[in-house]
Copies of this chain bind each other. A is one copy, B any other.
Amino acid sequence: MSAAPLRLGLAGLGTVGIGVVKIVQRHAALIAARTGREVVITAVSARDRSKNRDADLSGYAWETDPVALATRADVDVFVEVMGGHEGAARAATEAAIAAGKDVVTANKALLAHHGQSLALAAEAAGRVIRFEAAVAGGIPVIKALTEGLAGNQIRRVMGVMNGSCNYILTRMQNEGLSYQEVFDAAQQLGYLEADPNLDVGGIDAGHKLSLLAAIAFGTRVSFDAVELEGIGNVSIDDIRLAEDMGYRIKLLGVAQLTGRGLEQRMTPCLVPADSPLGQLQGGTNMVVLEGDSVGQIVLRGPGAGEGPTASAVMADVIDIARGLRLPTFGQPAATLATPVAARTATPAPWYLRMTLLDKPGALAKIATCLGEAGVSIDQMRQYGHQGANAPVLIVTHKAARDDIDHAIGRFAGTGVLVGAPVAIRIEEV
């Protein structure tokens, strides 16, 4: 073992931090065999030192202030698993870079908001920032995209990247429960963030998508340009009717670069029930990468939890120990293009659900509106009347979202619609 040990300063001793401690302790010999050097923790920090934790921390120096930890002379790599995109996490990460440390972080929010400036600072200082754990937990998707598919022009990146949302949607589907019922159960089980809107509002998954998009398309992270729609309006009716047509509803992130610019959206979508995305159950994550040479690669695995997230953190640490060094987003931050944000314009089939008054010609009026907006119908089902009303389901052929919006705008003038129609994009996978 000729090389000097690689010394980690670990900020954050929650689930993930303790997972990192356990791997470093349990697999010291394995890691040394794989990297040719020892990987050790020299110091740790967390808010509450007195808290009882499921690991032996007695051999490590303790810092109350993560900035002090990040700048210690006996730390080579600052490992940030505290979370939060401002405050201590940001200050400590900036301090670490300024002090010449490499950074490994699980913090998707921090990078979604400040990735460009942090990457520029790190590259100016000759340091790396690694964030495998920030996207899709244990799935090595950052590495697959940045390195494994580096010979490809990426066509599209998709993913189910928030396990809590997929847990809620699949429980609704499997048990026929309402959104609110499953949401409440998930909250009681501790499956949701303290601010649950980070999960169910699609924000957390949107952060992850914006990081994948930057790597895929060589553009600066632009989280603000992600079209976000959470799962709060997904109804059990839509889940059932979609299933009836051969689809499942997922909170699906999609990023693609088109002639109009970069489309990024994290919204409920229909996907074919028999596709890998459609088959995905519970808290598992899935990312689909499409390249011009490779075609479609699908990666599936646990998106959260102590072991999987710590596994991803350690992959980054081990890369650093092995001397594998890359710019944060795969190419120098200064060369990343500023993306033109494009509202989703790529045509897709759409699922439209509406309730019509039981009047002669009602359906014809809706069909006329669609036709006038240039939208043609692929499948239509009218279900048994509920009193004087008839639920109607339409799957369109590929249509631009503007045309769908246009058609829906015309529906109001027909006088046959009860309530507002539901429109959900069908992503072709």
Contacts and interface: CB of A to CB of B under 8 A. Distances in A.
28 contacts: A19-B293, A23-B293, A30-B218, A33-B335, A36-B331, A36-B332, A138-B294, A140-B143, A140-B148, A140-B297, A143-B144, A147-B319, A149-B311, A150-B315, A150-B319, A151-B311, A276-B276, A276-B300, A279-B279, A293-B308, A294-B311, A294-B312, A296-B302, A297-B300, A298-B299, A299-B299, A322-B326, A324-B326
A318 B147 contact: yes
Contact of A34 (B150, B276, B300, B305): B150
B301 A300 contact: no
A19 B326 CA distance: 26
Interface string A296-334: 111111100101101111110111001111100011100
- Quickly give the copy total for this chain: 2
Contact of A302 (B140, B149, B295, B305): B295
B315 A149 contact: yes
A299 B297 contact: yes
Interface-central residue, A294, A314, A323, A325, by most chain B CB under 10 Å: A294
B151 A314 contact: yes
Task: State the majority secondary structure of interface residues on A.
Answer: mixed
Interface residues of A, number: 59
Interface of A: 19, 23, 27, 30-31, 33-36, 132, 138-140, 143-144, 147-153, 218, 274, 276, 279, 291-302, 305, 307-308, 310-315, 317-319, 322-326, 330-332, 335
Given A31-B150, A143-B143, A151-B314, 8 more contacts: A27-B153, A33-B218, A34-B150, A140-B147, A147-B315, A150-B314, A151-B311, A324-B326
A318 B150 CA distance: 7
A151 B310 CA distance: 8
Contact of A301 (B33, B295, B307): B295
A379 B147 CA distance: 47
Nearest to A335: B33
B295 A308 contact: yes
Contact of A291 (B35, B311, B326, B331): B311
A300 to B, nearest CB: 4
A28 to B, nearest CB: 11
